[in-house]
Structure 1
Amino acid sequence: MTRDPRLPWSTRSVNLAYFLTRNARRLGARAAVIRGTEVLSWSALDDRVNALAAALRDRFGLGPGDRVLVHAQNGPQMIEVMLACWRMGAVWVPANVRQSPDEVAYLAQKADVTLMICDASGAAHAAACTAAAPGMRHVIAIGGGFGADYEAAVADHTGARVSDADVDRDTPAWLFFTSGSTGRPKAVVLTHGQLSFVVLNHLHDLMPGTGPADISLVVAPLSHGAGLHQLVNMAAGAASVLMPPGPLDPAVAWELVARHRVTNMFTVPTIVKMLTEDPAVDTHDHSSLRFVIYAGAPMYREDQKHALRKLGPVLVQYFGLGEVTGAITVLPREDHHPEDTPAALIGTCGFERTGMQVSIQDAAGAALAPLQTGEICVAGPAVCAGYDGDDAANAAAFRDGWFRTGDLGHMDAEGYLYITGRASDMYISGGSNVYPREIEELLLTHPALGEVAVLGARIPAGARSGWRSASACPAPPSLPRR
């Protein structure tokens, strides 16, 4: 267990796997993970996690601090691997299942992984990772076919008991790879203590009152935000229902909501749009839903209004990055309105999460007044421990204790945050700052448009005479604000 030598007292934290330990003891026979007709109780999940952790330790030689790369579709095994890694003190490194072999090989090399677990379709990914990461000693396949067989490894260690490893508040638990929009993906270090705060924050700010009677439907990849949401439900003792493999089928999702009386789900705006525009939303009972949480990208106002009309007052929005594990702002159910009335908070992503602080800063790091646009910066216990092995990225992202998100926005006098775009997206036309998001929102108010996107284009010098500058065009009406 790593401790700061300057501190004479212990900074020991609770191992994230202890959520499972506690549930197995208190809720043992109740459902933990459901997929189709397969139901894993909390005690059965605990047994399988113990067996897998023992196999990783005793058969494959893993120890605390080792990194385990996972490339697999959503399934009970994704949850088992996550918890087994934490139980034995290893670090979970999930990859996006849509990534190519070369992309995943870069993650394996960057994270210096010791072992890889993938499903039966990942043979090419495993081969690429083995070639790229010399420290990767083993491959385990879910479904077999190459490497070691996952189920055989679990079966060989059935009955083993593994205690939750001692961890420090700052012990790494999860390497979360960024999308790489500004270059190669960076490995964000999420720790046991930091994630414990985020879990409690999610339960307080996003899903208050969630407990063992609740059921969550997993409709997004467990390798990213849905994995954290599943951990949040686990902390509350709530079961998770997994979709069948393959592309998201809205009709299947709504049937599962009705059958299991689902109370919450984590989504992104495109999934909310897909679910609420499918005819199945009107043919299945979804009255059990209390929280439909969306994040990952802004939701256009017209899509938001449509979802509210279909689902009722269940939408919860949060804004956050992987580096802050989603915990920057929240727009709760009561701040969502289906009509553009004066009470509606149109265009905001909400107010600061409990225990977090947001500051709008200029290029020099000075705080700006309300309604002034600048970079959104954040501080608090949800901020990550930095980027793994990347001093340059850390120097650029942290300033005077604040994490710099790279997003532009402003706050109103009441503390509601409005995002205007990325610093790299803003362009100047006719001497004015133009944010593509605002143009897209305006276009979507036209009834003939369902989806829009504003893209940058370089205009050849000889063709410019045929274009009208923004300053020569009539000014569009302002977007409604509170």
Structure 2
Amino acid sequence: MKIDHSLTASIDEIDLNPASFLARNAHFTPNKLALIYEDQELTYAEFTRNVKAIASRLRASGVKDGDRIFYLGMNSAAFLETMFATWWLGAVFTPLNFRLAPAEISELLVRGTPHSIIVESSHAEVLSHVYGAQRHHIFLIDNDPAVEAAAGAPPYWHRASEVFGDVSEDLPAPKQVGMRDLALLLFTSGTTGVPKGVQLTFGNIWWNSVNVDTSVDTRVGDMNLAVAPMFHIGALNSFTIRAFERGNTTVVRRAFDPVRTLKDIEDFAINSAFVVPAQLLVMSNQAEFEGADLTSMRATICAGAPVPPVIIAKYAEKGVDVQQAWGLTETSPFATYLPAAMTKEKTGSCGISMLHTEVKLVDPVMLEDVTTPGETGEMWVRGPNVTPGYWNAPEANEAAFHEGWFRSGDIGYADEDGYLFIVDRLKDMIITGGENVYPAEVERVLIEYPGCSDVAVVGQKDPKWGENVVAVMAMEGGAKPTIEQVREFCDRHLARYKLPKKLVLVDAVPRNSSGKLDKRSIRDMVASGATEIQG
């Protein structure tokens, strides 16, 4: 029998706008606590009113659906209010890495062509040195008590305290959006160091939430904690967006403080949080850790790097199952998840594919499926949570997608039970403190160092940060710069987390017969300690 689908709405007609969910919560549960930010508490009615005020001003400035709104600042109420205001209008939210240097931000402005930029007072000085920023509408967040007021902001910048106050009487309801409408544009550097804009649709966001809700023990009424930077999709879309959709409460901190985080978990009986291994390690090393009650943490997802078994054991003793996951910005973020019940049995595994996502291993050269347990292959992902592609980057799209599958660039294997383990990163990416550093981007800066004849950048394992950034340099005329001098030079061009922590000086940087850097030999040289390492 043929079904007549014309009688009901198609899947593309279903409204997936998180701002619509927010408005619903403000209507039916106006007095429910939505956000705790530093010393401020906002109900759903109060939070939504702020969102509507920002949306009113952006709309008056000419923002329409599809326009990009850039945000430069740390975790805050304004960050989240701007995001929902952007979506209220059907526009695209782009949170920038607040550690970027002015030159890096300038490049993103060229690539992303935002209509408006919203900047915190804490980052006003950085934005004032960004070439091309003056071509955009700029709104300065000057009404956050947790941020010191900016001095000497340009007069053409609009101040939030003056323009984000009133809600327009003619502000329409949140724009209806569907599966294919663009929600987020998140910039991440590629292996060449050229920024790539990862497009995530409202459908991508939605399906990641469905995956999480069907695999992780999340509940209506949960208390969510956001202490990792929300410009990363992990901190933003693991739990936080969904918390506002479900009418839950989120505790937001501007930056991670291990002692305060332990106290927050106790004081607010936190149930869900996205963290990176470095955060868990630092927390476990605090004197307060031993006496802290962490038993409310039933949904603790850790990603960004493999979690050392010793950390898993420490938290297990406290009644917390650290649940590992794997994914990328391109997968919104989760592709795999290790169930809490398997944390001890499958220590070190990133789990199995999410319910509505497929993951397979493929020989990266032959492009043939790898099915033998223990045999390594590149991890490919397919599903409704996977990005539709990169922003205005056809060559990057051609390299990253093959017959509907996204090529992650990560190498892994499956055990006899089908549980996946990450082995290495095909693209040589370094993960330090949960932040991604691409060697080519750092190498591009270092080769400009006076007297540098050749350079390579690799990662070196570090118990605290996961990996350190190590620069291997060959110098002309026997010059011997110090690690401090190298860092000072790079500081003008790169975010601080990308700066080399260690320096190795060599007569010649190893290259293979085709002239390419021999990264394996370079890593082995650094790991063996055969050469003197500064730092």
Same fold at TM > 0.5:
yes
8 Å Cα contact 1:29-1:43 kept in structure 2: yes
Q: CA deviation at 1:200?
A: 1.7
8 Å Cα contact 1:365-1:399 kept in structure 2: no
8 Å Cα contact 2:218-2:299 kept in structure 1: no
Counterparts of 1:78-477 in structure 2, within 5 Å, are 78-129=79-130, 131-132=131-132, 136-143=135-142, 145=150, 146=153, 147-157=157-167, 161-206=171-216, 208-212=217-221, 214-224=222-232, 225-228=234-237, 229-243=239-253, 245=254, 247-309=255-317, 311-337=318-344, 344-362=345-363, 363-370=365-372, 371-425=374-428
Q: CA deviation at 1:48?
A: 1.3
Summarize the Cα distance change of 1:56–1:453 in structure 2 as closer, same or farther, 3 Å threshold: closer
* 3-state secondary structure, aligned to 1:349: coil
How far apart are the structure 2 equivalents of 1:175 and 1:401? 21
Summarize the Cα distance change of 1:456–1:97 in structure 2 as closer, same or farther, 3 Å threshold: closer
8 Å Cα contact 1:92-1:175 kept in structure 2: yes
Counterparts of 1:59-78 in structure 2, within 5 Å, are 60-78=61-79
Q: Structure 2: give runs of 5+ residues left out of the alignment.
A: 1-8, 144-149, 430-457, 474-505, 511-520, 525-535
8 Å Cα contact 2:31-2:44 kept in structure 1: yes
Summarize the Cα distance change of 1:209–1:226 in structure 2 as closer, same or farther, 3 Å threshold: closer
Identity %: 29
| Number of residue-to-residue matches in the alignment | 429
Summarize the Cα distance change of 1:113–1:453 in structure 2 as closer, same or farther, 3 Å threshold: closer
How far apart are the structure 2 equivalents of 1:193 and 1:461? 50
How far apart are the structure 1 equivalents of 2:348 and 2:269? 31
Partner residue of 1:341? none
8 Å Cα contact 2:224-2:273 kept in structure 1: yes
Partner residue of 2:514? none
Q: CA deviation at 1:125?
A: 3.3
* 3-state secondary structure, aligned to 2:390: coil
Summarize the Cα distance change of 1:313–1:335 in structure 2 as closer, same or farther, 3 Å threshold: farther
How far apart are the structure 2 equivalents of 1:242 and 1:26? 23
Q: CA deviation at 1:158?
A: 6.5
Q: CA deviation at 1:178?
A: 1.5
* 3-state secondary structure, aligned to 1:105: helix
Partner residue of 1:28? 30
How far apart are the structure 2 equivalents of 1:88 and 1:314? 40
* 3-state secondary structure, aligned to 1:168: coil
Output the aligned Cα RMSD.
Answer: 2.9
Q: CA deviation at 1:112?
A: 0.8
Summarize the Cα distance change of 1:217–1:451 in structure 2 as closer, same or farther, 3 Å threshold: closer
Q: CA deviation at 1:171?
A: 1.0
* 3-state secondary structure, aligned to 2:164: helix
Summarize the Cα distance change of 1:450–1:218 in structure 2 as closer, same or farther, 3 Å threshold: closer
How far apart are the structure 1 equivalents of 2:287 and 2:10? 59
Partner residue of 2:437? none
- TM-score, normalization by structure 1: 0.82
8 Å Cα contact 1:48-1:158 kept in structure 2: no
AA aligned opposite 1:332: P
Q: CA deviation at 1:423?
A: 1.7
* 3-state secondary structure, aligned to 1:121: helix
Summarize the Cα distance change of 1:217–1:168 in structure 2 as closer, same or farther, 3 Å threshold: closer
Q: CA deviation at 1:424?
A: 4.1
Summarize the Cα distance change of 1:355–1:238 in structure 2 as closer, same or farther, 3 Å threshold: same
8 Å Cα contact 2:276-2:302 kept in structure 1: yes
Summarize the Cα distance change of 1:234–1:419 in structure 2 as closer, same or farther, 3 Å threshold: same
AA aligned opposite 2:93: W
8 Å Cα contact 2:190-2:196 kept in structure 1: yes
How far apart are the structure 1 equivalents of 2:129 and 2:115? 14
Q: Deviations over 1:319-344 (max 9, x none)?
A: 0000011221001211112xxxxxx2
Q: CA deviation at 1:453?
A: 6.2
Q: CA deviation at 1:9?
A: 6.6
Partner residue of 1:47? 49
Q: Structure 1: give runs of 5+ residues left out of the alignment.
A: 1-7, 338-343, 427-435, 471-482
How far apart are the structure 1 equivalents of 2:40 and 2:471? 48
Partner residue of 2:483? none
8 Å Cα contact 1:105-1:128 kept in structure 2: no
Q: CA deviation at 1:346?
A: 3.1
How far apart are the structure 2 equivalents of 1:79 and 1:461? 49
Q: CA deviation at 1:248?
A: 2.5
Deviates more, 1:357-366 or 1:120-129: 120-129
Deviates more, 1:248-257 or 1:182-191: 248-257
Q: Deviations over 1:341-380 (max 9, x none)?
A: xxx2133110010111111111232111232211110101
Summarize the Cα distance change of 1:264–1:9 in structure 2 as closer, same or farther, 3 Å threshold: closer
Summarize the Cα distance change of 1:77–1:410 in structure 2 as closer, same or farther, 3 Å threshold: same
Q: CA deviation at 1:123?
A: 2.4
